[in-house]
Amino acid sequence: QVQLVESGGGSVQSGESLRLSCRASRTTATWGCMAWFRQVPGNGREGVAAIDNAGNTAVATALKDRFTIFHDKVKNTVDLQMNTLKPEDTAMYYCAAEYGSSYCPAILLQTEYNTWGQGTRVAVSS
C-alpha cells in the first residue's frame, strides 16, 4: 500500500510564501491524479488544487491567483506553491492521490481519491 507524506508546512507571516511537497512511499506506483485539500478545525475538508498524470491542473477559484500545483519530476513529488499567504489560509493541508486507475481527471472531489497523507500544518499570522 502506498503512503503519502506531506512536508513543507510551518508558521509564516501574512504575505510570505510556502511550498508544500507530497511524496509517495513507492515511487514506482503510478497515480491517476493527485490533489491538495485543507481543513480548519470544525470545518469540512476543502479542495485546494488537483493535477492529473498528464499535467492538467485545477485550482479552487478563490485561490487561483496565489496557489499553483505541479509535479516536480526531479524530486518525484507533487508540490503546492502558495504565495501571498493570508491568515485565512491557516489550516491542515492534506495530500491525496488516486491509485488503481491509469488516469483520473484533476478534480477537487474528495471521493475521487483513495490514498491520503497525515497532513502538514500551515499557520499564517497577520
Window from 28-37, 77-86, 90-99 with minimum mean pLDDT: 28-37
Per-residue pLDDT tens over the stretch 42-67: 999 999 999 999 999 999 999 999 99
User: Cβ(70)–Cβ(51) under 8 Å?
Assistant: yes
Please tell me the predicted confidence (pLDDT) of residue 103: 87
Average pLDDT over residues 98-117: 93
User: Cβ(82)–Cβ(8) under 8 Å?
Assistant: no
Distance between CA atoms of residues 6 and 28, nearest Å = 18
- The C-alpha cell 496565489 sits at 66
Distance between CA atoms of residues 68 and 81, nearest Å = 5
**Pairwise pLDDT comparison (28 vs 89), residue with the higher score:** 89
CA 1 to chain centre: 20
Grid coordinates given for 114: 483513495
In the chain, what percentage of residues exceed pLDDT 90? 87
Strand 18-24 relative to strand 77-82, pairing: antiparallel
Can you tell me whether residue 89 is helix, strand or coil?
Answer: helix
